[in-house]
Amino acid sequence: MFWSKKPKAEKNYDAAKGGKAAKPAAGKAVAKPVKGAKTAAGKDAGKTAKSAKLVAPTIQAGALSNVASSIIRPRVTEKSGLLSQSGVYTFEVTKGASKPDIAKAVKTMYKVTPVKINVVNQTAKNVFVKGRRGTVSGFRKAMVTVKKGDKIDFV
């Protein structure tokens, strides 16, 4: 009755079996194939149920080379506008972005050389709007100081 939706792992298992599969006995463990995982022989794990050794899927080289994806958007506020006059620009960045990633992204996107980068994690906040409770999601921001004479135009 409750929780009628199947978890993803169970759906993948059923799909690999070719339909609805019977539940295993209480004492027996069943190896569930992982979608997209490769075996040591290079065959798809869903096709061969006998293969016990699985190798982690490889990450494509093009996915990591796009460093500019670490910057989400410039953060335009009154405070960041005042800071930009002194050469400090504020950006919203992804959760996993490191300082070298942010530096490369700023260099490629805006053609300026960053001198210093400060990263701050803003926590989520609880709010009360129109009689209902809610949350404002947290984010990660980077304050990038550029070389003297360099300027970034967001327009």
Domain locations in the chain as residue ranges: 1-57, 63-146
Q: How confident is the model at residue 63 (pLDDT cuts 50, 70, 90)?
A: very low
- Evaluate whether 132 touches 77 at the Cβ level (below 8 Å): no
pLDDT digits (tens, 9 = 90+) for 8-55: 555 565 566 565 544 555 555 555 555 555 555 555 545 544 544 544
Q: Which of 3.40.47.10, 3.30.70.330, 3.40.50.300, 1.10.540.10 would CATH assign to domain 63-146?
A: 3.30.70.330
User: Shortest CA distance to 16 belongs to which of 2, 1, 36?
Assistant: 36
Lookup: tokens for 136: 């404002």
How confident is the model over 128-135, as a mean pLDDT? Answer: 95
Q: How confident is the model at residue 112 (pLDDT cuts 50, 70, 90)?
A: very high
Interior/surface letters 118-135, b for 16+ CB within 10 angstroms, e for the rest = eeeeeeeeeeeeeeeeee
> What percent of the chain is predicted at pLDDT more than 90?
51
Q: What region, left, alpha or beta, does residue 76 occupy, with left being phi > 0 and alpha being psi -120 to 50 degrees? A: beta
Q: What is the distance between the alpha carbons of residues 103 and 107, in angstroms, rounded to a whole number?
A: 6
pLDDT above 50 (res 145) = yes
- Which 8-state DSSP code applies to residue 44? B
**Which has more confidence, 127 or 44?**
127
pTM, to two decimals:
0.55
How confident is the model over 127-134, as a mean pLDDT? Answer: 95
Q: What pLDDT, on a 0 to 100 scale, did the predictor assign at position 154? A: 80
Q: Which neighbouring-strand residues pair with 133?
A: 128
User: Shortest CA distance to 21 belongs to which of 36, 3, 37, 6?
Assistant: 6
